Amino acid sequence: MAYEKVAEANQLKPGEMKRFPLQNRMILLANVGGAIYALDNKCPHLGGDLSAGVLDGTMVTCPRHGAKFDVRTGENLGNAKIAFIKMNVGNAKSFSVKTEGNDILVDLG
């Protein structure tokens, strides 16, 4: 377990999500009612930028083909669709988050 600082709490208001660099990847942080959750920003389907999608409650929708994930767990809630073809998508990778003072820390595991 090695938590590393990713952002500061004042960078992310409730209902917002943004991506932040950590090591050699981008981490999606989502603030849901004051609770912070972290996912790999890269969609497990074809690498879409989840931070450019839509956050609705605890669900993020990928901007590329519409796959949906629970930001709390990374669980896939809806598959991708290209034209009329539905494609199965796995879960997004989720990471442990904690806050220390104003700092948001993530453990990449």
Which C-beta is closer to ligand FES: that of 67 or that of 104?
Answer: 67
Q: Using CB under 6 A, which of 20, 41, 59, 65 touches ligand FES? A: 65
> CA–CA separation, 14 vs 46, rounded Å?
28
Q: How many residues bind ligand FES (CB under 6 A)?
A: 11
Looking at 2-10, 15-23, 41-49, 99-107, which segment touches ligand FES (CB under 6 A)?
41-49
> CA–CA separation, 56 vs 77, rounded Å?
12
Q: Using CB under 6 A, which of 20, 27, 28, 45 touches ligand FES? A: 45
Check residue 74 for interaction with ligand FES (CB under 6 A).
Answer: no
Helix, strand, coil: what percent of the chain each, to 5?
Answer: 5, 55, 40
Which C-beta is closer to ligand FES: that of 59 or that of 67?
Answer: 67
> CA–CA separation, 53 vs 50, rounded Å?
5
Measured from the CB of residue 40, what is the shortest distance to ligand FES in angstroms? 12
> CA–CA separation, 70 vs 84, rounded Å?
24
